[in-house]
Amino acid sequence: MTDLPTHESFPGFDGAPLALTRLGSGRPVVLLHGLFSSAHVNWVRYGTAAQLADAGFACLMPDARAHGASAAPHDPAAYPADVLVHDVAALVAHLRLDDFDLVGFSLGARTAARAVLGGLRPRRLVLAGMGLEGLAGWAARQDFFRDVIDRYGTIRPGDAAYLPQQFLKSSGIDRVAVRHLLGTMADTPPAALAGIAMPALVLCGDQDTDNGSPDRLAAALPDARRATIPGTHMGCVTRPELGAALVAFLAPD
């Protein structure tokens, strides 16, 4: 039987207290959640972390800055370019990880890819809920989510921004802080993805094109395979197939 998750904090790149949820013991795997979400929602609530823990993994699940139980400062100085990459590097240094796997969903996948391009070296990498355009064309997605924040509370059903608004509402995230965060993310040119040399999995729901083409993303990576599970962008994280696909790819050779 899987143990209950434990909760602690670690210092971000600037010392800001960031939340960390742990579950399981064994091979370390760092799991990065999506925008307006948290470690609990993406990885714990629907059993994905438990599947990994049962398979012999130690799940290390930070709440991103401005999300979950992590610090959400309003000072713009707390949000330099690629701040989430710096925070992931701070986690890896804090835990002294030298042999680990890295998994990201949506925003977490963007962060994971840019962290690898910035020098992080996981054994294996999973980019879930992500397509090529979500990395190369982030500016358009950033404008979309800024609009969700700016029109918060006024968006009605039928508007493409309605579901993200409702998710933001349910998460209780600080909108000032997360708007600052959105401005820290740059586009990643497709040619730069040649620098991601480790084995990678591009994993998306069969109804998920929110972040563009996963096939094109897999083709742009030197050593990637594709996997498809049931669900929409937000729905696939609720499915047991997500954990099963992660276990199958990350299982030690």
Q: Render 212-240 in DSSP notation, one character per residue.
A: --HHHHHHHSTTEEEEEESS-TTTGGGSH
For residue 248, how many other CB atoms are within 10 A of its CB? 11
Question: Which residue reads 């042999």 in tokens?
Answer: 99
Q: What's the whole-number average pLDDT of the chain?
A: 96
pLDDT in the model for residue 81: 96
Q: What percent of the chain clears pLDDT 70, i.e. is strictly above it?
A: 99
Question: Which residue reads 């991601």 in tokens?
Answer: 196
Let me know the angle formed at the C-alpha of 178 by 85 and 243, rounded to the nearest 5 degrees.
60
With beta carbons less than 8 A apart as the criterion, state whether 23 and 51 touch.
Answer: no
8-state DSSP, 43: I
Span 66-81, average pLDDT: 97
pLDDT in the model for residue 252: 78
8-state DSSP, 67: S
Rounded CA-CA distance 32/157 in Å is: 29
Judge whether residue 140 has pLDDT over 90. Answer: no
Rounded CA-CA distance 12/148 in Å is: 27
Judge whether residue 87 has pLDDT over 70. Answer: yes
Instruction: Tell me the one-letter amino acid at 238.
Output: T
Tokens of 173: 């995230």
For helices 175-182 and 138-150, the axis angle rounded to 10 degrees is 160
pLDDT in tens, 195-215: 999 999 999 999 999 999 999
pLDDT in tens, 96-136: 999 999 999 999 999 999 999 999 999 999 999 999 999 99
Tokens of 167: 């998710």
pLDDT in tens, 42-52: 999 999 999 99
Q: Where are the domains of the chain?
A: 6-250
For residue 41, how many other CB atoms are within 10 A of its CB? 20
Judge whether residue 138 has pLDDT over 90. Answer: no
* pTM, rounded to two decimals: 0.97
With beta carbons less than 8 A apart as the criterion, state whether 231 and 207 touch.
Answer: yes
8-state DSSP, 109: H
Which CATH number does 6-250 carry?
3.40.50.1820
pLDDT in the model for residue 209: 92
Judge whether residue 1 has pLDDT over 70. Answer: no
